[in-house]
Amino acid sequence: MESRAKLLGHPIHPMLIPFPLGLLGTAVLFDLIDLIGGGWYSLSRAAFYMIAAGIIAGLLAAVFGAIDWFVIPSDTRAKRIATLHGLGNVVIVVLFAIAWLVRNDDPPKDASGLPIVLEVIGLLLALVTGWLGGELVDRLGMGVDPGANLNSPSSLSDLPAREGVTTIRSVP
């Protein structure tokens, strides 16, 4: 099933998900290094700002994921998996938002206690929701162009036929 929101012929949602995953995952790593090693205040401070950026990126990715979710036929395995994927990702953003708010001082507190527990749970849940996203694409063909094959032409090859380049287009 083809994605509804595309940029230059490619689905937007998969383009955006590396940002929250990378930012939030690296923030957890930085906070764990600070927690275990101690004295790495610069890593903890960087993690604090990475969480804020990861939350914003996650919300942006969610907008385009929701656009695709609305066109999945009801009563299908894909709709059930996509619902779990989306709801799980909302929980992840909420967990990181709480962790961020708990440490929101000037300068931000180190992640220990509740914030680090929430971050680690969020990261572990991201592994599950990432697997669900992979299931949607790899097993159920969500977001895959109907003409995809090993010798498909570039998605840019039909741009002149579209009467100019549109930044986002919806597939009817």
pLDDT tens string 18-75: 999 999 999 999 999 988 887 767 888 899 999 999 999 999 999 999 998 999 999 9
Residue 1 reports pLDDT greater than 80: no
Q: How many CA atoms lie within 13 A of 88 on its CB side?
A: 19
Q: Confidence band (pLDDT; 50, 70, 90) for 162?
A: very low
pLDDT at position 172, please?
Answer: 53
User: 140 with 56: CB under 8 angstroms?
Assistant: no
pLDDT at position 147, please?
Answer: 76
pLDDT digits (tens, 9 = 90+) for 68-107: 899 999 999 999 999 999 999 999 999 999 999 988 876 6
Residue 171 reports pLDDT greater than 60: no
Q: How far apart are CA 17 and CA 123, in angstroms?
A: 14
Give the DSSP H/E element, type plus range, for residue 155: none
pLDDT at position 155, please?
Answer: 76
Q: How far apart are CA 120 and CA 113, in angstroms?
A: 11
Residue 164 reports pLDDT greater than 80: no
CB atoms within 10 A of CB 70: 9
State both tokens at 11. Answer: 């689905």
Quick one: average pLDDT of 154-162? 64
